[in-house]
Amino acid sequence: MDDSPTKSLPENAYRPLKPGETYAPIVPAGSAMEEFTPRSVTLGIVMAAVFSAAAAFLGLKVGQVFEAAIPIAILAVGIGYAFKRRSTVLENVIVQSVGAASGLVVAGAIFTLPALFILDLPVDLFKLFLVSLLGGALGIAFLVPLRRHFVKEMHGEFPFPEATATTEVLVAGEAGGQQAKVLVAAALIGGAFDFLILHLSAFAEVFTTRSVWLLDRVAERSKIVFKVDVLSSVLGLGYIIGLKYSAVICAGSFLSWFLLVPLVAHFGAGATSSIPPVTGGALISGMSAEAVFRGYVRHIGIGAIAAAGILGILRSWRVIAKAFSFKALFGAAKSASGEAERTDRDLPMKVIVGGLVTVALVAWVFFRFGVLDPSPRVTTQSLIALLVVVVISFLFTSVAARAIATVGTNPVSGMTLMTLILTSLFLVEAGLSGKAGMLAALLIGGVVCTALSMAGGLITDLKVGYWIGATPAVQERSKFLGTIVAALSVGSVLLLLDKVYGFAPGPDHPAGQVLAAPQANAMAAVIKTLMSAEPVPWLLYGTGALIAVSMQMIGVPALAFALGMYIPLELNTPLLVGGFIAHLVAKSAGKDEKLASARNSRGILIASGFIAGGAVMGVVATVFKFLATDEKVAGAIGTGIPRLLGWNFGFAEGKGPELLALGAYVLLAIYVYWDARRTNGEAGG
C-alpha cells in the first residue's frame, strides 16, 4: 500500500460513498508524518492565547464576534513557510485545533458571563476560569464517542461548510499550484468585497425590500420584509451547504418572517399594553418587523430548536447508545494487521470516562462549596446544578454537532437560553432565588454554553482531520490543551474589561463607555425575570415545538428548519442563493460526471476562498472599528491614525446604498457561477 501523502482531496471527499467504496485521506493511515510536535503545540498555544484575548476584547467592546478557525489556519500555513523545515499539513492541523479553541471558549463565555457583572454578582478569576474549563472539558468528552458517527459513518451526508473551507485552506497551502491560485484569488476578491462593506461602508451590508418603492409600505403596514446579507463569506457558506439544506433552512425562515411575524403584528395591533414576553410598555402596533421577530417569533424558534434537538436524540438513540456502549468505550477500530488505525484512533475511552467523572465531581464541589450559600437545602441545590450541567450538555452535544455539520452555525444562544429557563425553574423550586439564584443559574449556563460551543467546534476540527488524515486522539488532546489556555485568557480579559470599561453604567463607568455585550444583557434580563417569578412564554416555545414535530412527521429535517426559524432572515437568504448557484454549476456539466465533479471542486475552492477572505477581513475591520472609536486608544496614540482607520465613504445608510448592494451582489453571484465553470475537467484546473 502506498503510504505517501497526496496533494489534493480525493474526488469522493464531499459526496456519499458508493457501495463498497472507501475514503482515503490525503495523509494515509500508515504515514508517519510529523503531527504533535513542539512547533505545532507552541504555535497553537500562542494562537489560543492571542485570539482568546482578541476575540473576547473585540467581541464585547464592538459587539461583534469573529470566527478564529480560518484565520488561524491561514496563519499556520504562512508561518510554516518561515521555518527551515516547512511545517507539515498535519502540524498545521494541530496548530488550528489548539488555536481554534479560543473562539469556542470565547463564544461560551461572552454570551453568559458578562451578565455576572451586569447584575452586580460576586465574581473572581477562579470562577470565570473554572466555568470555561469545565464547559470545554464536557464538550470534548461528550463529543468524542460520537466522532465516528458524524465524521466517518455519515460521510457525505452533511455539508460541513466551515470544515470544508478550513480544509481547503490547509490543502491549498500544502499543494500550491492551481488549487492555491484559485483559493487565493477568491479570498482576495471576497475579502476586498467584504472590506468595502464592513469598514469603508461603500454600500449597505443588508439589502431589504424597504429600499424598493411600494414594498417599503408593505414592510411598515403588513410587517413583511425581505432581506439578504450581501457579504461574500455568507454566499460562500451557502454554496458549500448546497441547495437541499439551504432550501429547508430558508423555508423555516420564511415561515417566521412571512407568516408568523405578520400574524403577531396583525392580532396584536389592538393591544393597549405590553404583551409578555415583551415588557416595559412597548406596544406591538409600534413595533417594526424586526422587533416583532426578536420579541415574539424568535421564542418560537427557540422552542423549535429544543424540540428538534430532542427529536434528533430520540431518533438517534441507537447511535448514542452504541457510542457510549461498553464495546465502543473500550474497543477500537482495527486494521488488517490487527492494530488500531491511526486515523480512526480516539483518546482511550477509559480516559474519557475518567475525565467525565472528574469533571462531574469538580463541578459538584464547585457549586456546593464555591457558589451556593450554606442552607438546609444546599446539597439538593448543588445536585440540581450538577444534573442540569451534565444532562443538558450530554443531550445537546449531538444537536450542536448536527447544527454545525449542517449549516456551519451553532445555536448556542438559543440552547443556553432554554438551559437558563429550566435551571431557574428548578432552582426556584428548590428554594434558591434572588441574587444567589441568579449567580448559580448564570454559572450553570456558562458551563453548558461553553460545552455546546466546544462540541460544535470540535466536530469541525475532527472532520478537517478526517479529510486530511490527522490522528483524532491527537486532535482531541490538542483541543483540551487549547481549552485550558483559552479559559485562562478569557477570564483575565473579562476582569480587565470590567475594570477599564465596565459592563453596566455606574460612577466609574459612564453610560457611553460601557461595553455592548448584547447576548449577555439578554441573558441577564431573562435571569432577572425568572428569578422574580415573572411568566415564561411557554405558549411560544410550545408552538415552536409543534412546528418542529410537524416538520419531522412530513419528512422535513426538523433541526435545519428550526435553525431557519431562529436565525435572522438576512443570514438565511444568502444560503439559498449560494445553494442555487451550486445547483446551476452542477447542472451545467450535463451528464459528464468528470466535468461536473471538476466544476464542483472549483466552486468549493471559490466558496472557501470567500469564507477565508471574509473571515480575515472581519477581524481586520473589527480591529479598525475599535481603533477608530475607542477614546482611550485614540488618546494614547493620537487621533490621526484612528481617524484614518475609521474613514469610510459614508454611503451605508438610505435606499441608494441598499440598491447598490443588490447590484454588487448580483455581479458577485454571476462571477461565482462563471468562474466555477472555467475548468478543463480537472479539479481546480
Instruction: Give me the mean pLDDT over the 557-574 stretch.
Output: 87
Q: Among 102-111, 167-176, 501-510, which is the least confidently predicted range?
A: 501-510
Question: Rounded mean pLDDT of the chain?
Answer: 82
- Residues sharing a CB contact under 8 Å with residue 253, sequence separation 6 or more, in sequence order: 564, 565, 567, 569, 572, 573
Instruction: Give me the mean pLDDT over the 568-591 stretch.
Output: 89
**pLDDT band per the 50, 70, 90 thresholds, residue 139:** very high
Query: Mind listing the pLDDT tens digit for each residue in 413-434?
Result: 777 777 888 888 888 888 887 8
Tell which wins on pLDDT, 523 or 358: 358
**pLDDT band per the 50, 70, 90 thresholds, residue 479:** very high
DSSP 8-class letter at 370: I
| SS3 label, residue 340 | strand
| 337 pLDDT higher than 50 | no
In three state form, how does the secondary structure of 386-420 look? Answer: HHHHHHHHHHHHHHHHHHHHHHCCCCHHHHHHHHH
Helix (H) or strand (E) holding 366, with range, is none
- Output the pLDDT for position 1: 45
**pLDDT band per the 50, 70, 90 thresholds, residue 463:** very high
Alpha carbons 529 and 531: distance in angstroms, whole number: 6
Angle at 376 between CA 372 and CA 381, to 5 degrees: 45
Alpha carbons 317 and 315: distance in angstroms, whole number: 6
Alpha carbons 79 and 91: distance in angstroms, whole number: 11
CB 438 within 8 A of CB 384: no
> 684: exposed, middle or buried (C-beta count within 10 Å: 0-12, 13-18, 19+)?
buried
Sign of the torsion formed by the C-alpha atoms of 159, 160, 164 and 167? negative
For the chain, the C-alpha Rg in angstroms (whole number) is 24
Tell which wins on pLDDT, 336 or 519: 519
- Output the pLDDT for position 684: 45
Instruction: Give me the mean pLDDT over the 565-569 stretch.
Output: 86
Q: Among 25-39, 114-128, 337-351, 430-444, which is the least confidently predicted range?
A: 337-351
| 635 pLDDT higher than 60 | no
**pLDDT band per the 50, 70, 90 thresholds, residue 637:** very low
- Output the pLDDT for position 263: 93
Instruction: Give me the mean pLDDT over the 616-640 stretch.
Output: 59
Query: Mind listing the pLDDT tens digit for each residue in 361-397?
Result: 999 999 888 888 788 888 888 898 899 889 888 888 8
- Output the pLDDT for position 466: 92
DSSP 132-168: HHHHHHHHHHHHGGGHIIIIIITTTTS--HHHHHHHH
- Output the pLDDT for position 357: 92
- Output the pLDDT for position 213: 81
**pLDDT band per the 50, 70, 90 thresholds, residue 672:** very high
| 328 pLDDT higher than 60 | no
- Output the pLDDT for position 616: 75
> Which one, of 485, 490, 442, lies nearest residue 56 by Cα?
490
What are the CA-CA distances from residue 677 to residues 171, 261, 445, 585, 598 (Å)?
21, 40, 47, 7, 9
CB 514 within 8 A of CB 503: yes
Alpha carbons 482 and 473: distance in angstroms, whole number: 14
| 450 pLDDT higher than 80 | yes
> Which one, of 558, 567, 573, 563, lies nearest residue 237 by Cα?
573
Q: Which amino acid does the sequence have at 415?
A: M
CB 503 within 8 A of CB 118: yes
Helix (H) or strand (E) holding 228, with range, is strand 227-229
Alpha carbons 70 and 425: distance in angstroms, whole number: 39
- In this structure, the strands spanning 227-229 and 206-208 are antiparallel
Query: Mind listing the pLDDT tens digit for each residue in 509-557?
Result: 676 667 767 677 777 777 877 776 667 788 998 999 999 999 989 989 8
Percent of the chain with pLDDT over 70: 86
Cis peptide bond upstream of 122, omega within 30: no
Per the structure block, which three cell numbers stand in for 446?
456558562
Query: Mind listing the pLDDT tens digit for each residue in 580-609?
Result: 999 999 888 887 778 887 888 888 888 888
Instruction: Give me the mean pLDDT over the 459-472 stretch.
Output: 92
Instruction: Give me the mean pLDDT over the 215-241 stretch.
Output: 87
What are the CA-CA distances from residue 642 to residues 191, 623, 632 (Å)?
22, 11, 11
Rounded to two decimals, the pTM is 0.82
CB 136 within 8 A of CB 487: yes
Query: Mind listing the pLDDT tens digit for each residue in 279-305?
Result: 777 888 888 898 899 889 988 988 888
Which of 73-111 are b and which e, b meaning 16 or more Cβ less than 10 Å from the residue's Cβ? bbbbbebbeeeeeebbbbbbbbbbbbbbbbbbbbbbbbb
| 62 pLDDT higher than 60 | no
**pLDDT band per the 50, 70, 90 thresholds, residue 66:** low
Spell out the alpha helix ranges (H) of 430-471: 434-468
Alpha carbons 19 and 641: distance in angstroms, whole number: 61
Per the structure block, which three cell numbers stand in for 41?
503545540
What are the CA-CA distances from residue 304 to residues 158, 448, 544 (Å)?
21, 19, 4
